[in-house]
Every structure is written in C-alpha cells, then in structure tokens.
C-alpha cells in the first residue's frame, strides 16, 4: 500500500476547517477505506502526509500568521497520531514548520527547505517503484531536475500522469497531466468533442504512450485549452499595473470570458454549463459558492502563460522591472533595511511562475527578447527552457549582464546579476590560466595590525593583539574560493589523493578516528558546558553566539552519552567526499563562496592548487590576511577601518551572496582583493592559541554574524574539523610561479 497521502490546501473552502478531521475527510474521498485502511490507521502506520499550497492563504479569510499556527497544531496532532513525516509546501518552496512551543502559540520559526533527491525518490518508491528508479537515474544524470520534482504537487502530478519517461520542464509535466485528464474523460457522456477534437485527443494519446515529445503544440490548438488561457489571464493579471490579482471569479463572469474567447477563435459558442462541466470533469477548474477558480495556482499560471503572446510577456517584464526599481529607490531614500530575498537568485518576480512557463512553452525566443529588458530574468528563463544550448543567445545574455555589473552598485541587483552569470557558466578568473586577474600582489611594507579605533572597541576576548609587522611581498587570491573552483578540486580527485592531505586531515577525511575517540572529545566539550551553564548566556549577551547558536549549545549540553555515541557512529560511517553543505541549493551557486569546509579540506585544496601551479599555495597567516584586507582598502592600520559594506546579519540575506556583490569600483579596477569582510569567515593557517592544535584562527565575519565581527582586527576561532555554513577560505602564494 502507498505510504504517502497528498492533499492540496487549495481544496479547502474560503472559510476553512483547519483540523485533522478535514484531512480525514479528504482521505475518505480519495481512498476506499473498506479495501485499504482508515486515515487513523494510515497515520498509526507512520504514513507521510504531503500538504501542498501553504501560500493559498491568499484566498482564505484569515491572516497568514493565524493560518500557519492553526496548521502547525494540526501537524502536531498528526505526529501524535503516528505520522512519520509531514511535508508542508507551496508552489516553489517547501516549508518546514518546527513544532516548538505550546499548542496555539505563534510558530517560532519557518524554514524554507526543498525536498531532497533522497526524499523525492523515497516518496515516489512508495507509489511507483519503476517511476522512482527513472527519477533517481534522471536526477543523478541531471541534478537540475531535483528542483522540478522537489515540490510535492509536481511530484504527485508526475506519478499520477503515468508518463513512461521523465519530464524535464514544469510546462511539459502539467501538459502530460492535462493530456491524461483528457484521455481519461473523453468517453464521458458529458464530454463535448467540439471543444476537444478527437484527432487532437488521438495525437495526445500517441505522445503519452511514447513518453517523449511535447503535448503543448497539440494542446495549444484545442479550443477549450485556448479559452482557459483567456480565463487564467483575467485571474492572474490585475487590471491596474500595481494592483492585485484575482483568485476567483463569479460563475457568470467566467461564462462570459470563456464565451468571448471561443468567439474570438471563431468557435461556435456552446452552452456555458456544458463548457464548465467539461473543465470541471478534467479537474482544472472548481466551483464553490458560485465562484470559479483553478484547482491549483500553478495550473492557473500555466494557462495564463499559454494564453499570452511573447509581446505581452515582454511588456509584463518591463512593467515589473520598473516597479521593482521604483521600490528599491523608495527604500534607499527612506533608509529602509533591505527586504529579505531568497538566494540563490536574489531577486523575486511577482509573476515568476508565469515567466518560466512562458519560456518553456516558447523556447529561447522569449529570453532573447528579454535581454535588453531584464537580463537577469532573461538568464533565468534561458536556463528554464532546458533546451539544447543556443550559444549565441547565452553569449548575448552574459555580455549584457557583464555590462550591467560594471554599472550597477545596489547590492541586491549585483547579487542577482552575479548569480545569473554563475548559472550561465561565467566564472571568476582562475590562477591556473589568468593569474594577473585572479591574484593580487600585496606589497612589502609595515602594517599596523590588531587594533580598532577608540570609538569602535572590540568585544572582550575577540581581538587580536596590537602589533607592528614587516611583511615581504606576497600574492593573495582576490576572491574567496568559489563553489566552481572547489568543484574542480573534487572532480580532479582531490578528496581521494592522500598526498594533498595532512596526516590528521586524512584521518579525519577517512573517518579513521574510533568512535571512542569521537565520544571522548564530544563528552569533554559537553561536560564543560554543563559545569559552566552561564557561559552560553554570556556568549549570547556578548554577541559571540547567535540565538540559533546558543540554542544549539543548550541542546548539545543536554545530550546523553548514548546520543553522542549514536551520532559518532553515524558520522564515522560517512567518509568526506564533498563539503558539508554541497547540496544545499541556497549555498551552491557556482559563484558563491564554498562553505562547509573544514580546515583540513581548505588546506588540501591549497596543496592541490599548488601542485597544479608548481608553486607553494597555502592558507594565509593572520598577519597576511589582515595585511591583504588593509591593502584592499588602501590603508595600513586596522584602527583606520570603519564600517565596511558587507554581507553580515544586519542585511538579513539568508545565505552567502555571490562573490563580487560588495566589491568596490576601485577594487575591481585595480585588481585588489575583494570581500574579506562579511559573507564568510575565512580560515587562517595559524593556531588559535599556542599548543591548541585543534583550533585555528578564522577571520572576516560572515552572513550569520553581527557586523562588528566584520573587521580585520577581529579574531575568531574554529575547530579544525568544523564544517560551518558560514566558513570558507582564500589562499596565498609565497614561492614558485603562478
């Protein structure tokens, strides 16, 4: 028996009954409880509940916050009844609602998490093992497909469509879904064949049987589908440029829109009741309280895209970019903090799903038209088509984005541009073939290090001592190591070549430490926290720990020996072959800095690069790192450094920004190091304290930390095996060629 149950929240009435009983009612409508089991039995057996459409609160008569904590309580009831997992999703992002806090209280956190490839395959296996195998193979060959199937609604649509192959775009996926509905209902007595000609249905059957091709060239000729495009446009696009879209439409108005659309394509207008009955039988539209809506917003957006010409989409993109720019300008003039933007694109589009469907339906023609209107959107849509690469269009988009990057200074726009460049394959200079632009020569000289200005004192215990240092000239990487650079290390076998690793690093990479050693180390750290419980509060109050970090320390202090031993066994069973967060979408744009790397991994990368360059490449000393930072700012004393723009917690970006987002024109023009302050902490070569070989110095602050840490005099520390999501590195070259 299938062990997962999908339910769309769009199926709820406008005055929803948010309860486990409502989920049970949906179960009874979809499942023969006499042949299978009741909903209670399903939960008790550890079933997985896929709840889709959290964003559909827009058509509900209650505030978002109230909607969410009602559903949080229902989810808690489901777990109490035995549910193994509950996944709550919207159209584009899955949302994990932690069940912390008493029932009825406000949710303490909502995290956006995509379904991983493993979860996608596991859920598919429960319903169709053969389809799961196809998905697994396809996502392994093309990791980009994981994004398409990471949404429960799209995954369920695929599994129910019965397509023998793997579909590569959302438009095709829903096209096969609509085709399956047409083929299922064509023998229905109420099915009006004038709206869907038999020849079209037969051609759809051939495509579905083969599992290849695209059903949309046929669907686009069907009168009923074309009329639905007109209805979707009325619902999706507001009458006023800055107005709100409608989600429902009175039945009489829907009748009129459909009739006018059929008349426009010179199709005889039929009895409106028959038209709506046909569409409802196809499960595309639903009616409640004499109002019509699409069964799911994604279908509405797909039909809106199918009903819009290229010129209409281009005009829509122009209007949207103008609106976004005016909002950015108003925020800047009012000194309003930036709105949180979800990486890795760093730009949100009100009609994002419509744009993507339109590109998938029309190919590279649309992104080619959008290059001069919105090159970031053009890049995203070019990739969305998933067609064979058109190198001329891609080159045109890249050239336009590079030109925009030279002109734009606003950080949100720069992030979006660089992320788009990364997705299109543009890369930062590489020392293996462009050392002049990849490396900066830090001149020999005297550097005054370790101090802040008198009005900007460091928090106690986090300053490096004042020192005046003479350093010879050295070469430093201009950029923190990017995901693209680190991928080259992985693909060249860097994790498997023992010569690149220190003995301790190889032992860590191979997980050679015994479980007993691991447990002893962790127990020692836990016992220190238990003996000094106020230390966590002090760390939080001083700003040296974030609230999330302090909460993690509290949980760690509460671990029992058995918990530590079990965790040790799990960790020791997995050898390191990639950075820790290598598969987390919001951290893996090719031009974002690599994170989740231990000191051992960073050091191994340096050894690998040194072998490629026939040079001595290593992590910088703390002196070198601070000197490189001062050189990039045209200073020689850390006390002269004030507040520098960088990606710190103050900006509310929920991840790293692509490298170069905060680069200044001077740094770009003179090939200076960029972004040493903020975004990611960077490993230094030095021990944090004499004799403490398990900790190394980290510098620069990060996206997760307060801005006061983003100063060259700040000295942080990290365990050599730590793989934090805000920890990266850069390197220096001291001997040999480059």
| Burial of 469 (C-beta count, 10 Å sphere; 0-12/13-18/19+) | middle
Boundary residue ending a domain (423, 449, 467): 423
The single-letter DSSP state of residue 500 is G
> Does the residue 145 lie in any domain?
no
Condensed to tens digits (0 to 9), the pLDDT of residues 136-191 reads 999 998 888 888 888 777 888 888 888 888 999 999 999 999 998 888 877 665 56
Looking at residue 111, its pLDDT comes to 47
Angle ∠(155,160,165) on CA atoms, nearest 5? 75
Residues 640 and 528 in one domain: no
Residues 439 and 473 in one domain: yes
Distance CA 267, CA 279 (A): 17
3-class SS of residue 584: coil
> Does the residue 536 lie in any domain?
yes
pLDDT band at 715 (very low <50, low <70, confident <90, very high): very high
Residues 605 and 712 in one domain: yes
pLDDT band at 321 (very low <50, low <70, confident <90, very high): confident
Helix axes 272-281, 223-236, angle to 10 degrees: 90
Mean per-residue pLDDT, 568-582: 82
Boundary residue ending a domain (307, 341, 364): 307
Looking at residue 460, its pLDDT comes to 42
| Dihedral angle, C-alpha 487, 491, 492, 493, nearest 10 ° | 110
> Does the residue 159 lie in any domain?
no
Helix axes 251-264, 223-236, angle to 10 degrees: 130
DSSP code string of 49-64: EEEE-GGGGGGSSS-H
Angle ∠(184,151,8) on CA atoms, nearest 5? 60
> What's the total number of domains in the chain?
5
> Does the residue 293 lie in any domain?
yes
Residues 183 and 241 in one domain: yes
Residues 536 and 654 in one domain: no
Tokens of 518: 């691991």
3-class SS of residue 199: helix
| Burial of 405 (C-beta count, 10 Å sphere; 0-12/13-18/19+) | buried
> Count of alpha carbons within 13 Å of 696, Cβ hemisphere only?
24
Q: What does DSSP say about strands 727-728 and 716-719: parallel, antiparallel, or unpaired?
A: unpaired
Residues 42 and 189 in one domain: no
Residues 298 and 324 in one domain: no
Boundary residue ending a domain (244, 273, 307): 307
Q: Which domain holds residue 413?
A: 310-423
pLDDT band at 22 (very low <50, low <70, confident <90, very high): confident
> Does the residue 121 lie in any domain?
no
- Evaluate whether 354 touches 301 at the Cβ level (below 8 Å): yes
- Evaluate whether 591 touches 525 at the Cβ level (below 8 Å): no
Condensed to tens digits (0 to 9), the pLDDT of residues 425-465 reads 999 999 999 888 999 999 999 999 988 875 555 444 466 78
The candidate with the shortest Cα–Cα distance to 612, out of 503, 731, 722, 483, is 731
> Does the residue 407 lie in any domain?
yes
The residue length of the chain stands at 738
Q: List, in sequence order, every residue forming a beta bridge with 733; answer none if it has no partner.
A: 475, 617
Residues 264 and 337 in one domain: no
Tokens of 144: 């980009």
Distance CA 79, CA 23 (A): 13
pLDDT band at 54 (very low <50, low <70, confident <90, very high): low
3-class SS of residue 637: strand
CATH of residue 705's domain is: 3.90.1580.10
For residue 454, count other CB atoms closer than 10 A to its CB: 7
Distance CA 291, CA 424 (A): 43
3-class SS of residue 439: strand
Residues 467 and 534 in one domain: no
Condensed to tens digits (0 to 9), the pLDDT of residues 257-273 reads 998 988 888 777 666 67
What kind and span of H or E run contains 697? strand 695-699
**SS3 per residue for 449-497:** ECCCCCCCCCCCCCECCCEEEEECCEEEECCCCEHHHHHHHHHCCCCCC
Cα R_g (the chain), whole angstroms? 28
Residues 350 and 381 in one domain: yes
3-class SS of residue 442: strand
> Does the residue 142 lie in any domain?
no
**Contact residues for 161 (Cβ-Cβ < 8 A; gap 6+):** 173, 176, 177, 179, 180, 208
Residue owning tokens 């720069």: 414
Residues 10 and 101 in one domain: yes
The candidate with the shortest Cα–Cα distance to 92, out of 370, 342, 420, is 342
> Does the residue 414 lie in any domain?
yes
Distance CA 638, CA 699 (A): 13
Residues 446 and 413 in one domain: no
61-75, 165-179, 307-321, 609-623: range with lowest mean pLDDT:
61-75
Indicate whether 64 pLDDT > 80: no
Chain-centroid distance, C-alpha 128 = 27
Chain-centroid distance, C-alpha 687 = 35
The candidate with the shortest Cα–Cα distance to 305, out of 221, 244, 226, 212, is 226
pLDDT band at 60 (very low <50, low <70, confident <90, very high): very low
- Evaluate whether 367 touches 343 at the Cβ level (below 8 Å): no
Indicate whether 591 pLDDT > 70: yes
The single-letter DSSP state of residue 655 is S
pTM over 0.85: no
Mean per-residue pLDDT, 511-524: 77
């Amino acid at each position: 028996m299938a062990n997962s149950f999908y339910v769309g929240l769009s199926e709820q009435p406008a005055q929803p009954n948010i309860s486990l009983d409502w989920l049970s009612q949906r179960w009874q409508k979809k499942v023969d409880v006499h042949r299978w089991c009741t909903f209670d039995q399903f939960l008790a057996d550890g079933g997985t509940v896929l709840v889709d459409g959290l964003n559909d609160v827009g058509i509900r008569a209650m505030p978002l916050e109230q909607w969410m904590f009602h559903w949080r309580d229902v989810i808690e009831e489901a777990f109490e009844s035995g549910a193994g997992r509950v996944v709550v999703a919207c159209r584009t992002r899955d949302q994990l609602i932690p069940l912390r806090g008493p029932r009825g209280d406000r949710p303490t956190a909502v995290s956006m998490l995509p379904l991983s490839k493993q979860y996608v395959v596991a859920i598919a296996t429960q319903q169709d093992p053969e389809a799961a195998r196809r998905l697994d193979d396809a996502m392994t060959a093309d990791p980009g497909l994981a994004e398409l199937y990471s949404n429960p609604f799209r995954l369920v649509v695929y599994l129910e469509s019965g397509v023998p192959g793997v579909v590569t775009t959302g438009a095709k996926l829903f096209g096969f879904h609509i085709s399956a509905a047409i083929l299922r209902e064509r023998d229905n007595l109420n099915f009006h064949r004038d709206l869907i000609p038999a020849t079209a249905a037969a051609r759809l059957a051939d495509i579905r049987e083969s599992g290849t091709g695209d059903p949309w060239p046929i669907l686009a000729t069907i009168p009923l589908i074309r009329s639905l495009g007109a209805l979707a446009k009325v619902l999706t696009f507001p009458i006023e440029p800055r107005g709100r879209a409608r989600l429902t439409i009175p039945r009489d108005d829907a009748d009129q829109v459909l009739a006018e659309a059929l008349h426009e394509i010179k199709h005889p207008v039929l009895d409106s009741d028959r038209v709506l009955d046909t569409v409802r039988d196809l499960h595309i539209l639903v009616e409640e309280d004499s109002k019509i809506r699409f069964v799911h917003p994604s279908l509405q957006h797909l039909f809106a895209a199918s009903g819009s010409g290229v010129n209409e989409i281009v005009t829509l993109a122009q209007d949207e970019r103008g609106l976004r720019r005016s909002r950015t300008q108003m925020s800047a003039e009012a000194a309003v903090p930036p709105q949180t933007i979800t990486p890795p694109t760093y730009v949100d589009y009100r009609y994002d799903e419509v744009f993507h469907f339109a590109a998938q339906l029309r190919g590279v023609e649309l992104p080619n038209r959008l290059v001069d209107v919105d090159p970031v959107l053009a890049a995203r849509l070019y990739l969305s088509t998933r067609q064979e690469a058109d190198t001329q269009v891609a080159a045109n988009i890249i050239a336009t984005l590079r030109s925009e990057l030279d002109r734009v200074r606003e950080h949100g726009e720069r992030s979006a541009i660089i992320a788009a460049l990364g997705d299109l394959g543009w890369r930062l200079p590489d020392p293996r073939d462009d050392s002049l632009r990849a490396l900066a020569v830090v001149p020999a000289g005297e550097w005054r290090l370790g101090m802040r200005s008198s009005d900007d004192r460091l928090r106690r215990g986090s300053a490096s001592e004042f020192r005046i240092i003479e350093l010879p000239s050295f070469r430093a990487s201009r950029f923190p190591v990017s995901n693209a650079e680190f991928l080259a290390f992985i693909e060249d076998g860097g994790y498997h070549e023992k010569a690149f690793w220190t003995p301790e690093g190889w032992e860590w990479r191979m997980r050679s430490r015994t479980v007993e050693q691991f447990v002893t180390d962790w127990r020692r750290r836990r016992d220190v926290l238990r003996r000094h419980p106020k230390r966590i509060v002090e760390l939080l109050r001083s700003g040296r720990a974030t609230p999330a970090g302090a909460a993690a320390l509290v949980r760690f202090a509460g671990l029992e020996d058995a918990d530590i031993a079990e965790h040790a066994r799990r960790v020791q069973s997995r050898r390191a072959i990639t950075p820790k967060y290598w598969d987390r979408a919001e951290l893996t744009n090719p031009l974002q800095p690599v994170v989740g790397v231990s000191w051992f991994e960073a050091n191994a990368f340096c050894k690998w690069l040194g072998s490629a360059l026939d040079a001595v490449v290593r992590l910088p000393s703390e002196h070198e790192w601070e000197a490189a930072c001062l050189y990039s700012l045209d200073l020689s004393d850390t006390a002269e450094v004030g507040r520098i723009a960088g990606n710190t917690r103050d900006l509310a970006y929920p991840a790293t920004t692509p490298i170069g987002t905060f680069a200044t024109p001077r740094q770009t023009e003179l090939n200076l190091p960029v972004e040493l302050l903020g975004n990611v902490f960077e490993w230094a070569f030095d021990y944090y304290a004499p004799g403490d070989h398990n900790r190394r110095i980290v510098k620069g602050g990060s996206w997760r930390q307060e801005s006061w840490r983003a100063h060259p005099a700040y000295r942080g520390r990290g365990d050599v095996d730590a793989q934090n999501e805000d920890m990266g590195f850069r390197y220096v070259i001291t001997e040999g060629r480059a």
